[in-house]
Amino acid sequence: MRVIAKSTINLWRKLYPKAGGALQAWVEIIKGREFKHFPDLKTAFGSADAIRDDRVVFDIMGNHFRLIAGVDFQRQLVFAKWFGTHKEYDKINPAEVAYEHPSD
Protein backbone atom coordinates (compact mmCIF):
# COMPACT_ATOMS: atom_id res chain seq x y z
CA MET A 1 0.00 0.00 0.00
CA ARG A 2 1.04 3.56 -0.53
CA VAL A 3 0.97 5.96 2.43
CA ILE A 4 -0.29 9.44 1.63
CA ALA A 5 0.82 12.32 3.85
CA LYS A 6 4.17 10.95 5.00
CA SER A 7 5.25 14.55 5.60
CA THR A 8 2.33 14.89 8.00
CA ILE A 9 3.35 11.70 9.77
CA ASN A 10 6.87 13.11 10.11
CA LEU A 11 5.43 16.26 11.72
CA TRP A 12 3.42 14.10 14.12
CA ARG A 13 6.66 12.29 14.96
CA LYS A 14 8.17 15.66 15.94
CA LEU A 15 5.11 16.72 17.94
CA TYR A 16 4.89 13.37 19.75
CA PRO A 17 8.52 12.19 20.00
CA LYS A 18 7.58 9.28 22.29
CA ALA A 19 5.52 7.84 19.43
CA GLY A 20 8.04 8.54 16.67
CA GLY A 21 9.44 5.03 16.40
CA ALA A 22 6.02 3.40 16.60
CA LEU A 23 4.65 5.69 13.87
CA GLN A 24 7.59 4.86 11.62
CA ALA A 25 7.07 1.15 12.27
CA TRP A 26 3.40 1.56 11.28
CA VAL A 27 4.45 3.23 8.00
CA GLU A 28 6.92 0.45 7.23
CA ILE A 29 4.33 -2.28 7.79
CA ILE A 30 1.69 -0.50 5.69
CA LYS A 31 3.95 0.32 2.77
CA GLY A 32 5.53 -3.10 2.74
CA ARG A 33 2.33 -5.06 2.18
CA GLU A 34 -0.78 -5.37 0.08
CA PHE A 35 -4.06 -5.48 1.97
CA LYS A 36 -7.04 -6.52 -0.16
CA HIS A 37 -9.67 -5.85 2.53
CA PHE A 38 -10.02 -5.06 6.22
CA PRO A 39 -9.51 -8.64 7.49
CA ASP A 40 -6.05 -8.61 5.83
CA LEU A 41 -5.24 -5.37 7.63
CA LYS A 42 -6.57 -6.77 10.90
CA THR A 43 -4.14 -9.68 10.57
CA ALA A 44 -1.19 -7.26 10.57
CA PHE A 45 -2.70 -4.84 13.10
CA GLY A 46 -4.74 -6.89 15.56
CA SER A 47 -6.02 -3.85 17.43
CA ALA A 48 -7.18 -1.98 14.30
CA ASP A 49 -10.87 -1.12 14.18
CA ALA A 50 -12.93 -0.28 11.12
CA ILE A 51 -15.05 2.72 12.05
CA ARG A 52 -16.50 3.24 8.57
CA ASP A 53 -16.14 1.42 5.27
CA ASP A 54 -13.18 3.63 4.35
CA ARG A 55 -11.78 4.57 7.75
CA VAL A 56 -9.69 2.65 10.26
CA VAL A 57 -8.35 3.55 13.69
CA PHE A 58 -4.99 2.09 14.73
CA ASP A 59 -3.64 1.82 18.26
CA ILE A 60 -0.08 3.09 18.27
CA MET A 61 2.46 2.34 20.96
CA GLY A 62 0.33 0.04 23.06
CA ASN A 63 -2.83 2.15 22.79
CA HIS A 64 -1.18 5.30 24.19
CA PHE A 65 -1.78 6.97 20.81
CA ARG A 66 -4.38 6.63 18.07
CA LEU A 67 -4.05 7.08 14.32
CA ILE A 68 -7.07 7.52 12.09
CA ALA A 69 -6.55 6.73 8.43
CA GLY A 70 -8.66 6.56 5.33
CA VAL A 71 -8.05 3.29 3.54
CA ASP A 72 -8.79 2.60 -0.12
CA PHE A 73 -8.21 -1.12 -0.56
CA GLN A 74 -8.98 -1.07 -4.27
CA ARG A 75 -6.39 1.61 -5.06
CA GLN A 76 -4.02 0.44 -2.30
CA LEU A 77 -3.86 3.87 -0.61
CA VAL A 78 -3.75 4.85 3.04
CA PHE A 79 -4.33 8.51 3.91
CA ALA A 80 -3.27 9.57 7.42
CA LYS A 81 -6.02 11.84 8.76
CA TRP A 82 -5.55 12.34 12.49
CA PHE A 83 -3.10 11.42 15.23
CA GLY A 84 -3.08 12.06 18.95
CA THR A 85 -3.07 10.64 22.42
CA HIS A 86 -5.78 8.32 23.61
CA LYS A 87 -7.09 11.16 25.78
CA GLU A 88 -7.27 13.49 22.75
CA TYR A 89 -8.98 10.75 20.76
CA ASP A 90 -11.74 10.53 23.37
CA LYS A 91 -12.68 14.15 22.57
CA ILE A 92 -13.29 13.66 18.84
CA ASN A 93 -15.70 11.77 16.62
CA PRO A 94 -13.38 9.37 14.76
CA ALA A 95 -15.93 8.70 12.02
CA GLU A 96 -16.24 12.41 11.25
CA VAL A 97 -12.85 13.97 12.03
CA ALA A 98 -11.36 15.73 9.03
CA TYR A 99 -7.72 15.69 7.99
CA GLU A 100 -5.66 17.86 10.31
CA HIS A 101 -2.28 19.13 9.23
CA PRO A 102 -0.24 19.47 12.41
CA SER A 103 1.44 22.76 13.12
CA ASP A 104 5.18 22.57 13.45
pLDDT exceeds cutoff 60 at 104: no
Give alpha helix (H) positions in the chain: 6-15, 20-31, 38-44, 86-89
pLDDT digits (tens, 9 = 90+) for 53-73: 889 999 999 889 999 999 999
Degrees (nearest 5) of the Cα angle 79, 31, 80? 20
User: 2-89 maps to which CATH number?
Assistant: 3.30.2310
Closest CA to 23 of 84, 103, 96: 84
Considering the entire predicted model, what is its pTM?
0.91
Q: What is residue 67's three-state secondary structure?
A: strand
Residues of the chain with pLDDT > 70: what percent? 95
Domain boundaries, the chain: 2-89
Q: What is the mean pLDDT of the chain?
A: 92
pLDDT exceeds cutoff 80 at 24: yes
